[in-house]
Structure 1
């Protein structure tokens, strides 16, 4: 199963995260299939490749809770009805 999740980059205390499509069994810094976005929590900036993200979601990729919240805040789901399908713990 494919997941859309965060991959940590940057240096100590200055983390920047890439949003990547990756196999669910891979580790956090494992080999990704494609980079589809960038999230900078320090500067509160987000860069997304929306067509690629929607393409992966249509093919069955599941975003993690954090990625889902980032995408929802960016307005990716405003035209489509894609609910979060995961465990809410």
Structure 2
């Protein structure tokens, strides 16, 4: 089963997340199927970018978003 979740990047106290599609049984920092965007919660304005077309595609294929990603998708106007 596929999952849409956050992959943590960056250094200590300066997190940067990539929004990725990966297998549910793999570790979050391992390889992924596709990268959909990014989220930078520490930066001013909290930049968020998601490729909505691809996110809707993966959701239609049965990928399940994590709780956090579901909130971010809702913020971007993607129908879950």
Q: What TM bracket, shorter-length normalisation?
A: over 0.9
Question: 3-state SS of the aligned residue for 1:42?
Answer: coil
Report whether the alignment pairs 1:31 with 2:31.
Answer: yes
Residue of structure 2 equivalent to 1:86: none
For structure 2, the residue ranges without an aligned partner over 5 or more in a row are none
Quote the RMSD (CA, aligned, Å).
0.8
Which is greater in Rg?
A: 1
- State the TM-score, normalizing by the size of structure 1: 0.84
- State the TM-score, normalizing by the size of structure 2: 0.92
> How far apart, CA to CA, are the structure 2 residues paired with 1:3 and 1:28?
10
For structure 1, the residue ranges without an aligned partner over 5 or more in a row are 83-89
Matches for 1:17-56 after TM superposition, within 5 Å: 17-43=17-43, 44-56=46-58
Residue of structure 1 equivalent to 2:62: 60
Alignment size in residue pairs: 78
| Runs of 4+, deviation exceeding 2 Å | none
